[in-house]
Amino acid sequence: MAKSVISKHSTNSELNPRTEEYDFNGPLGALAVTILVPVIVYSLYFGCAEETGGCPPKVQLTFTRVQESLTWSQWLRLWDTEATMIYLVWYGFCVLCWIILPGEWVKGTVLRDGNVKEYKINGLSTFMLAIALSVGSIVKFGPECFTFFYHKWVGLLTAALLMSIVQAIYVYAASFVPGKLLALGGNSGNIIYDFFIGRELNPSIGSFDVMSFNELRPGMILWALMDISMICEQAVRRGGFSKVTDSIWLTAGFQIFYIADALYNEPALFTTIDIITEGFGFMLAVGDLVWVPFVYSTPTRYLVFAPVRLGTYTAALIFGMNFLGYWIFRSANGEKNDFRNGKNPKNLKFLATVTGSKLLTSGWWGVSRHPNYLGDLLMAWAWSLPTGFATPITYFYPLFFTPFLMHRQIRDETKCQKKYGDDWEKYKQLVPYKIIPYVY
């Protein structure tokens, strides 16, 4: 589907220059993250699971104890053939939906070789079909039929991890086929670094774009199904859906709403930095397929074996917090998207800059310099608060996400400072707060 207009005069090295600057502190940092991500995700499970005695585990994790317990059979338990089959069927279902469900083809932005890729928009219908099939079987066969995500958690995690490794190896190897457009940041020549960052910009198999497919479907929709499975497991234990606690309904409801919203806004993906400039390597593969479903559903998994009753007022407060966050997140991103697309329906004030590009100074972008991050953070905390305060482990996501967005904000400001120079200083005077008004 890509319309090839690569200039006949461009040599490969002109089109794909060597990456000179490393991110993540170079190959060593990339290697550390490659190892750390799976370790963190498994630890989140074993550090907060019924079978290890709770959250944190009751087993005393002394060095000798770890040595004793990590027998071969323990290690082999990470592998579960049935879970692997379920995962492969799931992944195959997503691919099949992409092929057969109708969807509009939309154009992405013009890439630096002049190509314009086209993407099929049917993520939302894939999601709706998956939810309809799941809910339909729960209604017909009862919640027992949909608890396998809870019981096969580790096996599914291993399967998703292996899938991300296989994909990362495949796209890295395929990037050496002549004529490929490489990511500016992933062509260092160092195998560890390029494998991690992603060497090819838009790896595809025919018209099937690997990156955009992975970003929104097999991981994101699986996350929603896992949340539904956690509700079913609680329903089985407590004797029906009417006995399911408000906390798990709330967390799962918030997250499923967020997923549906992301899929509803699928075309917005094609103007993101990920799609336009980043390669697809192990970092995105493991992020999409492992991190999103298995880390983000930790609170609902915890609530299965440690149910919490919130009560109307607490639930209403958390509900308000989530939707305040959502409102800020959507309207701030909407104001900027409209403005960057030449529209200003709210007649917001702006600062003209020497670059010709303008900066909003009223509306959400007059409240702080990254109001969209504020919205995202409020939602992240609202997803964990229903788990109560018995353990910090269910707060892993917001505890990781807060410094992550603070760091992203600094990186973005450095970029804007370089681009806008003195005008950025003027903007900072007009809008003094970075993310949270009057606080930060």
Footprint on this chain of ligand NDP (rule: CB under 6 A) = 273, 329, 333, 336, 339-340, 357, 359-360, 365, 370, 372-373, 376, 408, 412, 415-416, 419
Min CB(291)–ligand NDP separation in Å = 9
* Strand 104-110, strand 116-121: pairing: antiparallel
How far, in Å, CA of 231 to CA of 252, rounded? 8
Closer Cβ to ligand NDP, 220 or 232, answer by number: 220
Min CB(256)–ligand NDP separation in Å = 15
Closer Cβ to ligand NDP, 95 or 351, answer by number: 351
In 67-149, the DSSP E strands lie at 104-110, 116-121
Min CB(244)–ligand NDP separation in Å = 27
- Give the tokens for residue 411: 């990186």
Min CB(51)–ligand NDP separation in Å = 29
CA dihedral sign of residues 60, 62, 66, 69: negative
Q: Are 126 and 101 in contact (CB under 8 A)?
A: yes
Closer Cβ to ligand NDP, 125 or 333, answer by number: 333
Angle at which helices 246-264 and 123-141 cross, to 10°: 150
Min CB(40)–ligand NDP separation in Å = 15
Q: Tell me how long the chain is.
A: 440
Q: Are 168 and 210 in contact (CB under 8 A)?
A: no
Identity of the amino acid at 137: S
How far, in Å, CA of 135 to CA of 157, rounded? 23
Find the helix or strand (DSSP H, E) in which 360 lies.
strand 358-360
Q: Are 288 and 223 in contact (CB under 8 A)?
A: no
Min CB(103)–ligand NDP separation in Å = 23
Closer Cβ to ligand NDP, 129 or 430, answer by number: 430
Min CB(362)–ligand NDP separation in Å = 9
Closer Cβ to ligand NDP, 137 or 272, answer by number: 272
Closer Cβ to ligand NDP, 97 or 385, answer by number: 385
Min CB(121)–ligand NDP separation in Å = 19
DSSP string, 158-214: HHHHHHHHHHHHHHHHHTTSTTPPBPTTS-SS-HHHHHHH-SBSS-EETTEEHHHHH
* Strand 350-352, strand 358-360: pairing: antiparallel
How far, in Å, CA of 268 to CA of 262, rounded? 9
Closer Cβ to ligand NDP, 270 or 339, answer by number: 339
Closer Cβ to ligand NDP, 232 or 290, answer by number: 290
